[in-house]
Structure 1
């Protein structure tokens, strides 16, 4: 992994850190490729159940590295995972954004590509692209209306004004608000609650939630069986039942 993106694995959690604090963790193309590689690694590892994505220093991510783009004309796009190495193809495993400081523009779009968001109480989240004559096209205008009510999403994308963490929590954009400086710690606590569960069930549950948005009522139960039947017949499902009867913690095999 590059120095711009650090990966640490412990307790079933892969912590991926954007490590460019000197540019507020802005993303250039090499960093986007490194983010994608880190997510590929986390998805492939049997000892990882959940991912936490955070930024070094006082800012989560400032979005695209405009200085690097001006010099190289390379946009921060990975060939497979898309913008910022995540926007078009997030990881199959659950991923939690841990936000300190500002998550604006591309920074918020990265967070929106995550399944859960933990934000420090003094952090700010927004899509200011319209203030610069642009549209938040790396998932911002697509994903935000799926996370917050229509009117709130419209206000954010049309005014470009940021939202404080507490307000974002009220509208469902943020799952947990942490004390300043404690976003990563809180995100890891949330990740541990996810990682305690059966790996196959976690991945199947996420996939159904993500993919079922456009399933019709007539087909939804049939289509989910493709994912739920293998889980139901897995060794982990049997272990979960045994552990419940025996009043002990389950020991998951991931099979």
Structure 2
């Protein structure tokens, strides 16, 4: 990997650090590299969980690199297999991703953050969707945020672009947990280790079910799941892990998950 995207394997956990001083802004080459990193994570059977964080203690990511924009990079640039930041549009990413937000997450950085499954924020982190002030659309946030927090709160954030702190982010459910900055990676790693010890086929099924049924009426969603029409659900219900879960419960022991 380049100096801008640092990758470390820790057992079944992949740690990805966006490190582009001074602010960890993302240009097109960096976005493409991040997409390649997360696609490789998706396809590696030995890896079960990823953590995404930023280098330094001030910025997680402020979004698009405006210096690159000034040099001619446009919004229609190819940002890679996963879309901007490598996560937002990556197909079939059926493994848990944790965002460890170490500072400012504005604009595209905020959208990158909410592409994760679990978000842990340092207590000094700040958030905003300032695109409104430059006359552009925070497209991913406009799609996702009103579905995740109260509609009127999301609309106000999108309309005003105002900043809000980690405590308010926790209040509205934008982040799962707020911790002292010094504890951020310790907490994120503990959460990742917990998930890495769990059943990967169930995680895959959870992510596909959520992704494929969010727009459906409840009964149609149930039909997809109960009739095993989704590939991950079909795989789970015919797997060794499914049998292992039942046997381990009967034998009063911890299951040994093999991911098959």
TM-score normalised by the chain length of structure 2:
0.91
- Once residues 119 and 92 of structure 1 are traced to their aligned partners in structure 2, the CA distance between those partners, rounded to angstroms, is 23
- Please tell me whether residue 171 in structure 1 is matched to residue 185 in structure 2: no
Cα pair 2:24 2:55 within 8 Å, conserved:
yes
Please say if 1:240 is aligned against 2:245.
yes
Deviations 1:69-93 (A, max 9, x none): 2224255642432222222236332
Map of 1:231 onto structure 2? 236
For the 8 Å contact 1:29–1:74, the answer to whether it is kept is no
Q: How does 1:203-242 map to 2 (within 5 A)?
A: 203-224=204-225, 225-227=228-230, 228-242=233-247
> Which consecutive residues of structure 1, in runs of 5 or more, have no partner in the other structure?
none
Q: Distance in 1 between matches of 2:212 and 2:248?
A: 31
Q: Bigger CA drift: 237-246 or 199-208? A: 237-246
Question: Which of the numbers 253, 256, 259 marks the counterpart of 1:251?
Answer: 256
Matched, 1:33 2:35: no
How far 1:245 moved relative to its partner? Answer: 2.1
CA distance in 1, matches of 2:90, 2:110: 16
Secondary structure of residue in 2 paired with 1:84: helix
Give the alignment partner of residue 122 of structure 1, picking from 105, 112, 124.
124
Match of 2:138 among 136, 139, 151: 136
* Alpha-carbon RMSD: 1.6
Cα distance 1:133–1:181, how it changes in 2: closer, same or farther (>3 A)? farther
Equivalent residues of 1:8, 1:14 under 8 A apart: yes
Alignment of 1:174-185 (within 5 A): 174-185=175-186
How far off its partner does 1:176 sit? 0.9
**Contact 1:77/1:84 (<8 A) preserved:** no
1:46 aligns with 2:66: no
- 1:145-171 alpha-carbon deviations (Å, 9 max, x no partner): 122110110111111112211111111
Which 10-residue stretch deviates more, 218-227 or 123-132?
A: 218-227
Shift of 1:252: 1.3
| Native 8 Å contact 2:35 2:90 kept in 1 | no
Structure 2: distance between partners of 1:180 and 1:79: 31
Q: Secondary structure at the match of 1:201?
A: helix
CA distance in 2, matches of 1:166, 1:130: 23
Separation in structure 2 between the aligned mates of residue 83 and residue 49 of structure 1, nearest angstrom: 22
Any conservation in 2 of the 1:77–1:85 contact (CA below 8 Å)? no
Q: What SS class does the counterpart of residue 181 from structure 1 fall into?
A: helix
* 2:110 corresponding residue in structure 1: 108
Match of 1:65 in 2: 65
1:99 aligns with 2:111: no
CA distance in 2, matches of 1:11, 1:78: 29
